[in-house]
Amino acid sequence: MPNTALFECQSCGSKYPKWKGQCEACHEWNTLVETKPIKENKLKYNYNQESTAQALAEVVQEPVFYYKTNITELDRVLGEGLVKGSIVLLGGEPGIGKSTLSLQACQECAKQSMKVLYISAEESEAQIKSRAMRLDNGKIAETLWVFSQTNMMAIIKECERLDPDIVLLDSIQVVQHPELSSLEGTVSQVRHCATTLINWVKAHNKSAIVIGHITKDGQIAGPKVLEHLVDAILYLEGDRHFQNRILRCHKNRYGSTDHIGLFEMKENGLIPIKDPSQAFIETSQDASPGSVIVPYTQGNRVILLEIQALVIESGYGMAKRNFVGINPNRANLLIAALDKLCYLKLSAHDIFLTVIGGFSITDPSADLAIAVALISSLKQQSVIDRVGICGEVGLTGEIRPVSHIDKRLIELKKCGFSGGIIPKKNALSPKNLDQFRYHQVSYIKDVLHYIFMKDYEKQHA
Ligand SMILES: Nc1ncnc2c1ncn2[C@@H]1O[C@H](COP(=O)(O)OP(=O)(O)OP(=O)(O)O)[C@@H](O)[C@H]1O
Ligand SMILES: [Mg+2]
């Protein structure tokens, strides 16, 4: 390939010989950036010429070795800890706490006498030191090394010299490979720098955590192939107006992606939340119209979440919709189903829905709670008693069963709730549920009848 300029799409990585306003592959505008192709001989990867294929039956199984970070919530999300020989990609919005969490993990690992190299392409050594002093009351582990560098080859050289067990790179979008002329953060730079680090880590059986910036759509910036190259992808999420941070696992080659980690941002760093069920509830004992509690599960963990709805008559022709922490497609679908099934005229109302505490709902088991919150706000009537509500709502109004129903009810009981509204189709083994009232429902209309009894009967008599 001649060594002439190429134009590369920063969204999907497609290459063009000429500049264009719009990428033909992903249809994004203004994403083409001039870049020089890498010379053929530099693209060749090292490989061991003596290696041959093995019969799977004869492959010797090696036990997975975990580096415990001793940050319980982080270890839980990773499986049991950071796997030796693996690369973890940590993404999140600016200022959410990626550097803080990774520095904490590095400190904890170094305290266990592991050699840790913290490479920052964004901050100076002095900045990292002042953060480390703040996080651990001035105590700094002896085997924690810091290196402020943006040149990828200098980073690899330092890794070779120091031979650390764990390498942290903050962040992949800011380092630059000297073999490429393109700017840091471009698709080719990110891909080439990541491959260089991954090759070193895998060849030496070390572990690495790589921090990645995210795009405005919430995806890790750079080529999609980066997500395939790494062993695990974690996202640190949260609403910047709240202290709560949620660590989610998007991919894990060594364990389940079901687990979440819950942290609170404090002066001394990200501290695991002790009582998650209280962290996401704002309304006190007296329920207000529009507020509903849902026992929500993530993996095998139950968290009580508060959903708040505000439904008001629309002053303009086009009704406003605003959803925080709820998938807009799912919310719009529920609103349309409620409108049709319960004659509510929601299309003429502005609707605002929020999950308290910066949590994002990804599971349809909160459908029923969202529906009840909407009707509660519309009718200005709070939910009778303090009950937790869960169930998936179908388009015809049927309430579908949800997973881990026993655990959900036990958590409600433990947190002092008087009862629960759950799907009829859920089979229950009511041990540990003495004196806890739960009501089972089959259709959305049954729920309205049960909760907003008087109003509903008056209207539909
Ligand atoms: N002295 C402090 N006390 C309490 N919280 C602090 C203090 N200093 C920083 N923070 C918190 O730490 C956050 C910054 O964390 P951090 O630098 O780890 O984020 P980041 O995700 O690495 O950001 P970036 O993408 O900009 O690198 C701030 O938004 C703030 O909430
Ligand atoms: Mg940072």
Q: Quick one: CATH architecture of 65-274?
A: 3-Layer(aba) Sandwich (3.40)
DSSP 299: T
**pTM for the complete prediction?**
0.82
Q: Quick one: CATH architecture of 278-459?
A: 2-Layer Sandwich (3.30)
Q: Please say if the pLDDT value at position 3 is more than 70.
A: no
* Two structure tokens written together for 382: 């709070």
Report d(CA 215, CA 218) in Å as an integer.
Answer: 5
- Does ligand 1 come within 6 angstroms of the Cβ of 357? no
- Kindly report, residue by residue over 147-188, the tens digit of the pLDDT: 999 999 999 999 999 999 999 999 899 999 998 877 888 888
- Kindly report, residue by residue over 11-47, the tens digit of the pLDDT: 777 888 888 899 888 888 888 888 776 655 555 555 5
Q: Residue 122 CA: which ligand 1 atom is closest?
A: 27
Helices within 139-178 (DSSP H only): 152-162
Nearest Cα to 282, choosing from 314, 248, 319, 308?
308
The pLDDT value given to residue 1: 45
Task: Indicate the domain borders of the chain.
Answer: 6-37, 65-274, 278-459
Q: Please say if the pLDDT value at position 196 is more than 50.
A: yes
- Does ligand 1 come within 6 angstroms of the Cβ of 238? no
- Kindly report, residue by residue over 345-395, the tens digit of the pLDDT: 888 899 999 998 888 898 899 999 999 999 999 988 888 667 899 999 999
> Residues with beta carbon < 5 A to ion ligand 2?
99
- Does ligand 1 come within 6 angstroms of the Cβ of 241? no
- Does ligand 1 come within 6 angstroms of the Cβ of 353? no
- Kindly report, residue by residue over 296-350, the tens digit of the pLDDT: 988 778 899 999 999 999 887 788 999 999 999 999 999 999 988 888 888 889 9
DSSP 220: B
Coil, strand, or helix at residue 393? strand
- Kindly report, residue by residue over 66-90, the tens digit of the pLDDT: 999 999 999 999 988 999 999 999 9
Report d(CA 25, CA 435) in Å as an integer.
Answer: 60
Helices within 163-186 (DSSP H only): none
C-alpha dihedral sign at 156, 161, 165, 166: negative
Report d(CA 270, CA 272) in Å as an integer.
Answer: 7
